[in-house]
Amino acid sequence: MGHLDLALWLMNQISPEVAALVARYMIIDERPSQAPYMIPDHLARADPLVERFERWARERLAEGFSLQAASEALSTSKRTLQRRIEAVLGKSPLSYFQDLRVERAQHLVRTSALDIEAIATQVGYADGATLRSLLRRRLGRGVRELRAS
């Protein structure tokens, strides 16, 4: 099953939504014995708080991140939210929020004709230069390279 995990991980790098959909279709039944073969993303979706946080965050990429606002919106304490996200995803809520921004920006660069300034605005960065350097640092590729792929 390792080859399926790898394929789903690769898909997740491009589109987490598609990877999650494919993972759901691949799981024939819900026997506990299949748990070791599921991708971590799928397991993370089993935690309702983390899943709600992801949805909340994706809807607010342009607004910026506030742990206080997230915890209030999800009706939990800041500490509980932070602890659960770190336990499930292995990173802080802010780090995960930034990952979602990069993921969305990468998707927009590849699939839209928007310029980098417009994309930066949509994902909550002040200017295109900040987004350019972040994409280069995180993905190892610039905007031109992303658009070409």
The C-alpha atoms of residue 133 and residue 86 are separated, in whole angstroms, by 26
Whether 67 is covered by a domain: the verdict is no
**pLDDT score of 13:** 83
Domain coverage including residue 116: 98-148
Residue 33 has, within 13 A of its CA and on its CB side, a CA count of 2
pLDDT by residue (tens digit) across 72-92?
Answer: 999 999 999 999 998 888 889
pLDDT digits (tens, 9 = 90+) for 36-82: 334 445 555 678 899 899 999 999 999 989 999 999 999 999 999 99
**Is 7 inside a domain boundary?**
yes
Q: Domain total for the chain?
A: 2
